[in-house]
A and B are shown apart, each in its own frame.
Chain A
Amino acid sequence: MAGKQLLLMDGIHKRFGPLIVSAGVTLDVEENEIHALLGENGAGKTVLMSILCGVLSPNEGQIVFKGRPLKLGSPREAIKHRIGMVHQHFMLVPNLTVAENYVLGQGSPFSMIRDMRAVHARILELSDRYGLDVEPDALVSSLSVGEQQRVEILKVLYHGIELLILDEPTAVLTPQETDRLLHLLRQLVADGKTVIFISHKLDEVMRVSDRVSVMRDAKVVRTVKTSETNARELARMMVGRDVLMDLPRAPLEPGRVVLSVEHLSCDSEAGLPALRDVSFEVRANEIVGIAGVSGNGQSELALALTGLLPVASGNVTLDGTQLAGLSSYEINQVPMAHIPEDRHRMGIVLPLPLTENVILQRFDKPPFSSRGLLDLNEITKQTRDLMRRFKVKASGPGDRIRNLSGGNQQKLVVGRELDRRFDFLLINQLTRGIDIGATELVMHKILEQRGAGKAILLISTELEELFTLSDRILVMYEGRLVGEIPPDRSRLEEIGLLMAGKSPLSAA
């Protein structure tokens, strides 16, 4: 069925400063279809949809909706055009009831009193029609995540939306709730609505969508009919990228076991199960990669290993020392270094100068301090030395680290961590957001450490980075390790499928 075009986003460009988050994206959506937007985290899916529903405005490009050009200044205007989005993080006021949330910001200030009966009736009617089980008088804070999502979807329907955008709707749902949601989406399309469904999960996309647009590196790489493709092809489109570089990796025999993780489980900061029974070892002279779509427990693994997240059960031993249950201060004393995932949030302190970033974990140890006072001369000297060895470009050691580019910031972090005394190095996202030159330098430095007998765990969402550096790759999905694959580029698809929660055998 060649449907009528409902929406065309043409040549959409969006930049945040030097960062290009949408590089000339073209997307067309037909009336009455479920159109999946598939891609890795950071591929630009959410940005594109935020532009479509008026939250962001593009630097270039145009939107044509129902045959007419569309200019949106706010989400409210988008709603006027009957375009609505259900965000990944729900936009509900927890201490109001469902019905109160629906009238919030709508109509006259008095509708909260005057129209409540009509609102109730409308909610019940829609809830009945789609089998949503939404109770208008329930307090939002008393609802489960799945229920809150149904409230959000019903809210969009309540506003008479015709084009419904769902951003990673299944990320927070149990498998049963997911089934129910996918069923609901089909029902909505049968009812004449159009759905854009953002996801990075292949099986859901295959199950529910009519067409798929695959995004990678801020572009739509291809749009295909779901019936004319398969999970294997989609995986390749989603993760496949040009080979950046090939660094020589000397064959090395792995040595003694340095880090051993046994049956590790823990909950995320939000209290949801994040790691489930994870076991692996990292040996000297070895880089173990952990692949996975972000949000599958990798961040929690890094935090649990460094004492920043409490371990629920299981053992972590480093050179025979038990780490589970130690505080981050205590873990700072063991021979471990950690290049953290989010540079700006954890790795560096933006308003401080380079010098005061170099001493972050070792400020109270010699040579940086003695008898409680910082040795500023020594700190400056060491910072200069580090800047030279790691080619950190800055106007001087006193320059604020905020003024440096992402690549130079990361070089400083890598240099600082490699200067610590360590046997085990934990890396979470080595090259995220940095340029090719910096990437090459930090990769070289990491391989040097491998040659020097260190044990290295590399968590990454960049498969290219994993292939270049790792001796073996473990794949993580929903908090479990689901497979181990040698870093052989011919097995890219296999990894892609494992990352998407499919066993390679069943997809073949």
Chain B
Amino acid sequence: MANSESGQPLAVVPQVYGALWRGLLGPLRTIIQPAAAVIVALACGAGLLAFNGYEARAVIDVMVLGVFQDTRSIAEILLKATPLILIGVGLCVAFRCSIWNIGAEGQFYAGAIAATAVGVSFDGLTAWIYVPLVMLAGALAGAAWAAIAGLLKVYFRASEIVTTIMLNYIAIIMTSYLVTGPLRDAPAAYPQSARLVQEAWMPRILPPTRLHIGILVALALAVVMYVFLFRSTRGYALRVVGISPDAARYAGISVPRNIMLSICLSGSMAGLAGAFEIAGVTRRLFQSISPGYGFEGIAVALLANNNPIGAVFSGLLFAILRSGSELMQITAQVPQVLVLVIQGIVILSVVGFAVLRIPSMRPSE
């Protein structure tokens, strides 16, 4: 009030607010759209529950309270978030290069197979060597599996959307073959591989929960990939190729090399996720080792607007949704079909909002 005599400081206030508002608007916009996507999806989900005779409020309460119940349930969320973040971060790199890799699921399986093969094969290695070796095997296998689609695109202009989807089937069916044939653990009743050698297991970081070092690696890689994409020269070249191949050629940037780089990086992250799932959680290879992480990773990347740091948060969100839907089934007795429908709505809503935002995803005329 003392200042009101001069009149000036008060007159400045709207301007300050204006600047603040403008400063906030940019970041706000990137938050508002994903938030709107989630709210729309939850509203649709609640409507569906109510329509089917469930008490929507109660079910959502169970879900929200349940997932954050105790250390164990939070560790389970992080455990589910690990592959989603890894795959999502990798896909951010591919999508920034306009490489529409739909094959993270297959690359995850390829990584899981390689990790199993390495993890059951050696005796007498220390964990200091064995653990990184298993991770490397998974990452290399994922990269190699993705490279097939990359090479087909570079040399034959085959759409990576089609080839990566096809490669998913091959990897999944190959896994079935391996666990019922060459890699089958003879005494087991179910088709599964032998257990990994103990030194190959991922160290756990929060006993007695199952949480392992994978989540730390995933977070570190998200930061590394962010720096790579937005602060490094190679990342810059990759983004230029993704936006305008003609400008890239004009600037002397190799388009095929960046296509290979981006698809192999995303494949290696998915393969690494597969290795973590085997060596950190199941310790054996099964037929359906992935509950669709590879496909959900696409939504993770899109929700994050192909920003690796954002993919950490959207990966967590999808992990929470996953845990919540399990609780809906177990605690609130919502049938699985309905849970899947609600999950589907979440993903559709997220992708729908992403299409509004990313021009390159709009269908061309």
A residues whose Cβ falls under 8 Å from a Cβ of B = 306, 308, 327-332, 338, 340, 342, 345-352, 356, 359-361, 363-364, 369, 372-374, 376
Q: Does B233 contact A (CB under 8 A)?
A: yes
Q: Does B209 contact A (CB under 8 A)?
A: no
Tell whether, in the assembled complex, residue B233 and residue A340 are in contact, meaning their CB atoms are under 8 Å apart: no
* Contacting residues of chain B (217-248) with chain A, CB-CB under 8 angstroms: 227, 231-234, 236-237, 239-240, 243-244, 246-247
> Which of B182-190, B249-257, B287-295, B315-323 lies at the binding interface?
B249-257
Tell whether, in the assembled complex, residue B233 and residue A373 are in contact, meaning their CB atoms are under 8 Å apart: yes
A374-B231, A376-B231 given as contacts; is B252 within 8 A of A349 (CB)? no
Tell whether, in the assembled complex, residue B233 and residue A349 are in contact, meaning their CB atoms are under 8 Å apart: no
Tell whether, in the assembled complex, residue B249 and residue A363 are in contact, meaning their CB atoms are under 8 Å apart: no
In the A-B complex, the 6 residue pairs with the closest CB atoms: A332-B252, A329-B252, A346-B250, A364-B233, A360-B251, A361-B251
Complex partner residue of A356 from B236, B252, B254, B359, CB under 8 angstroms: B236
Smallest beta-carbon distance A396→chain B, Å? 13
Tell whether, in the assembled complex, residue A372 and residue B232 are in contact, meaning their CB atoms are under 8 Å apart: yes
Interface string of B281-324 (1 = CB under 8 A from A): 00000000000000000000000000000000000000000000
Chain B neighbourhood of A350, CB < 8 A: 243-244
Complex partner residue of A346 from B231, B236, B243, B247, CB under 8 angstroms: B247
Smallest beta-carbon distance A379→chain B, Å? 10
A330 and B234 alpha carbons, distance in the complex (Å): 17
Tell whether, in the assembled complex, residue B250 and residue A369 are in contact, meaning their CB atoms are under 8 Å apart: no
Smallest beta-carbon distance B307→chain A, Å? 14
Tell whether, in the assembled complex, residue B247 and residue A347 are in contact, meaning their CB atoms are under 8 Å apart: yes
A328-B252, A329-B252 given as contacts; is B244 within 8 A of A363 (CB)? no
Q: 29 pairs across A/B with beta carbons < 8 Å?
A: A308-B250, A327-B252, A328-B252, A329-B252, A329-B253, A329-B254, A331-B252, A338-B250, A340-B250, A342-B246, A345-B244, A345-B246, A346-B246, A346-B247, A346-B249, A347-B247, A349-B244, A351-B243, A351-B359, A352-B240, A352-B243, A361-B252, A363-B233, A364-B237, A372-B234, A373-B231, A373-B232, A373-B233, A374-B236
A351 and B96 alpha carbons, distance in the complex (Å): 12
Interface string of B18-50 (1 = CB under 8 A from A): 000000000000000000000000000000000
A318 and B234 alpha carbons, distance in the complex (Å): 29
Smallest beta-carbon distance A60→chain B, Å? 25
Highest count of chain A CB atoms <10 Å: which of B236, B250, B254: B250
Q: How big is chain B's contact interface, by range?
A: 20 to 34
A22 and B25 alpha carbons, distance in the complex (Å): 40
Tell whether, in the assembled complex, residue B231 and residue A308 are in contact, meaning their CB atoms are under 8 Å apart: no
Tell whether, in the assembled complex, residue B236 and residue A359 are in contact, meaning their CB atoms are under 8 Å apart: yes
Smallest beta-carbon distance B248→chain A, Å? 9
- A345-B246, A372-B233 known; 18 new pairs, CB 8 Å cut-off, are A308-B249, A308-B250, A328-B249, A332-B251, A332-B252, A338-B250, A346-B250, A347-B247, A347-B250, A349-B240, A349-B243, A360-B250, A363-B251, A364-B237, A372-B232, A373-B227, A373-B233, A374-B231
Chain B neighbourhood of A359, CB < 8 A: 236
A364 and B253 alpha carbons, distance in the complex (Å): 11
Chain A neighbourhood of B254, CB < 8 A: 329
Chain A neighbourhood of B251, CB < 8 A: 332, 360-361, 363
A328 and B251 alpha carbons, distance in the complex (Å): 7
A196 and B11 alpha carbons, distance in the complex (Å): 66
Chain A neighbourhood of B244, CB < 8 A: 345-346, 349-350
Chain A neighbourhood of B227, CB < 8 A: 373
Smallest beta-carbon distance B53→chain A, Å? 45
A330 and B254 alpha carbons, distance in the complex (Å): 11
A351 and B358 alpha carbons, distance in the complex (Å): 11
A360 and B249 alpha carbons, distance in the complex (Å): 11
A369 and B233 alpha carbons, distance in the complex (Å): 7
A329-B252, A329-B254 given as contacts; is B247 within 8 A of A363 (CB)? no
Tell whether, in the assembled complex, residue A363 and residue B236 are in contact, meaning their CB atoms are under 8 Å apart: yes
Chain B neighbourhood of A332, CB < 8 A: 251-252
Chain A neighbourhood of B253, CB < 8 A: 329
Chain A neighbourhood of B233, CB < 8 A: 363-364, 369, 372-374
A331 and B251 alpha carbons, distance in the complex (Å): 10
Chain A neighbourhood of B252, CB < 8 A: 327-332, 361
Chain B neighbourhood of A352, CB < 8 A: 239-240, 243
Chain B neighbourhood of A327, CB < 8 A: 252
Highest count of chain A CB atoms <10 Å: which of B239, B244, B254: B244
Chain B neighbourhood of A338, CB < 8 A: 250
Chain B neighbourhood of A373, CB < 8 A: 227, 231-233
